[in-house]
Each structure stands twice: as structure tokens, then as C-alpha cells.
Amino acid sequence: MRPILMKGHERPLTFLQYNRDGDLLFSCAKDHNPTVWFADNGERLGNYKGHNGAVWSCSISRDSSRLLTASADQTVKLWSVQKGEQLFTFNFEAPARSVDFSVGDRRAVITTDPFMKKTSEIHVKEIAEDVADQKEASILVMRGPTGRINRAVWSPLNKSIISGGEDAIIRVWDPATGQELKSTKDNENGHKGSISSLCLSADGSHFLTGSLDKTAKLWDTRSLTLIKTYTTERPVLAVTMSPLLEHVVLGGGQDAIDVTRTDHRAGKFEAKFYDKILQEEIGGVKGHFGPLNALAFNPDGKSFASGGEDGYVRLHHFDADYFNIKI
């Protein structure tokens, strides 16, 4: 499985996402320029210029026509994927961290960081079909918990919003009223450290969270009950799940400040594969010279991408043997 190395960012990667068809890969980094690549050969198609802060996450509409990007410059921008043009800018009073299109692409959930005595917030925005009708105002704002919310996503059929962040608690919100419906606050099986990443399964029935407490946990979307826990030796910064096989992939590593003090050949920076059911590690893919900050599986399940502190995106197409792994 020879990876394709994609060098298009000057700074560490923060987020990766494939479009629904799996033919395009979008990458975000701290260098202000979200980039789009061909997912089969890693060829760079272009980037989206307009942010002047780190870009923390992105979301692509189902028909791949529009892109939303959330940035530390206190804006979320709506782009034309094909033309690379800015269609609209949402302005906030704090850095924007996470963004996610709803099913149907008519709404977006956006989280903002704590900033200047303001708490973190979760905003719901209407996304107009015609850009001329696009409004700036949020239709709902939920005051977040203490600390930063690192990720918020829509549940299936937009019935709720699931968020996780620095307070280590997963919360489920009602997108109509803004009420908190459920949380893992009193769950002794919950995370003990900051939740860094959150990823829904292909069918939305369960989701995976990664945490700095060196575990990843699999949860039932509807009931918020813990299904499985995957334990590793280092903080988990990125998680993803195979849409084809019962495989969970975790990425991470030490904090960037500790990287120079350790030997990168010690294999700290690999994407680790676990059996989703048995919770056992089944393999790893090495290659990055720094912590893995982003992971994404192609919707066809035949390849995955990883993004690291080293500024590289690595694209991995699986060999036929991968689909016949016996445990």
C-alpha cells in the first residue's frame, strides 16, 4: 500500500473530508487556504483564498457544489466548489471552530470558541438556495459549556446536534429549541479528557469520539449509550470509521511541543486500525513526521487519507489483501 504524498499546505493540517461521491478530498490547515484534491491520484485542483486565519474545519454539500469553511479569523465562508469563489461570509465575535451541513444542506451548525469572556457557542444558520437571499443572522444560538467545543455535527434526519469538546462531555441538543436533550455528564464510562474529534458512522446509527485521555469511544446515536472503548498509548487527535468493514482508525501523537524531544521512528505517528467489535488493534500505517491531526475514509471504503502536523496529506489506497484480513 504505497501512499501518495500530497504537499499543498505550508502549515499543519487540521481537517480532512471527502465529498459524498468520494472523488474529491478537501483539506484544511493552519495556512489559511483550504485545498481540494482529486481523491484517486492526489492531484491538486486548487485552493480557496480569502481567510486570514487558520482554517479548522470544512463541510461539503451533498451535491458537491458548495463548501463551508470555519476559521480562526472569526468567519465562516460559503464557497462555490467549482469556481473557488466566495459566495457569502458569516461573521462572528469569536474564532469559528467547527462547521457541518445538515442533511439536505438547508442549514449549517457552527461552533465558536470561548473568547474575551464569551463562552463557546453553537450557531444554527439557514443556508439559502439562492445566495442573493442568504441572511447573516443565526436562527438559533446555544451558549456552550466551559471550554472549547471542538466538533458539532447533525444527527440523522437533523433530529439533533451532537457536540463534544474540552470539558470531555458529549451533549445532544434540540435544533428547534436549543435545549440540551442528553449528555454524558453523569456517565462514569465517559471520556476523562478533552474530546478532540467526533465522527458519525455511514448510516448515522453510532458515532466515534477521540480524546486526549488516550481512548476513543463508540456511542449509540439515539440513546447515547457507550458501545465500545478503544485504548491506545497516546492522545487521540483524529478518528474515522470504515464504511465497508468493521474497522476503526485512530490517529494522534504527543503535543507538538514534545515532538522534537522524541524519536519519530518510534512509530508514534501512525494511523492505528482497530477491530470495531473486538476492540483489538489489527495494524497501523506509519509515515507522518508529526502527530496526525486529521483522518478521513473515502465513502467507498477503498482508501483513506491522513493529515499531519508535518503539513502533508497522505492518501492510502488499500491492497486487495486488506479486505481479506482474518482475525
Distance CA 111, CA 121 (A): 6
Q: Say yes or no to pLDDT of 259 above 90.
A: no
Signed CA dihedral, 306, 33, 71, 148: sign only: positive
Percent of the chain with pLDDT over 70: 95
The residue type of 49 is K
**128-172, pLDDT tens digit by residue?**
999 999 999 999 999 978 899 999 999 999 999 999 999 999 999
| Predicted TM-score (pTM) of this structure | 0.94
Query: Within 13 A of 51's CA, how many CA atoms are on the CB side?
Result: 32
Q: Is residue 327 part of a domain?
A: no
- Cβ neighbours for 212, distance < 8 A, ≥ 6 positions apart: 193, 194, 196, 235, 236, 237
Q: Is residue 56 part of a domain?
A: yes
Q: Is residue 36 part of a domain?
A: yes
What nine digits make up the cell of 15? 481537517
**Strand boundaries in 160-311, DSSP class E:** 161-165, 171-173, 180-183, 195-200, 206-211, 215-220, 226-231, 236-241, 247-252, 271-275, 281-285, 292-297, 303-308
Residue range of the domain that includes 184: 4-322
Q: Is residue 129 part of a domain?
A: yes
Q: Say yes or no to pLDDT of 277 above 60.
A: yes
Q: Give the number of domains in the chain.
A: 1
- Per the prediction, the chain carries an average pLDDT of 93
Q: Is residue 205 part of a domain?
A: yes
Q: Say yes or no to pLDDT of 265 above 50.
A: no
CATH number at residue 299: 2.130.10.10
**221-257, pLDDT tens digit by residue?**
999 999 999 999 999 999 999 999 999 999 988 655 5
Q: Say yes or no to pLDDT of 261 above 70.
A: no
pLDDT band at 2, cuts 50/70/90? confident
The residue type of 23 is D
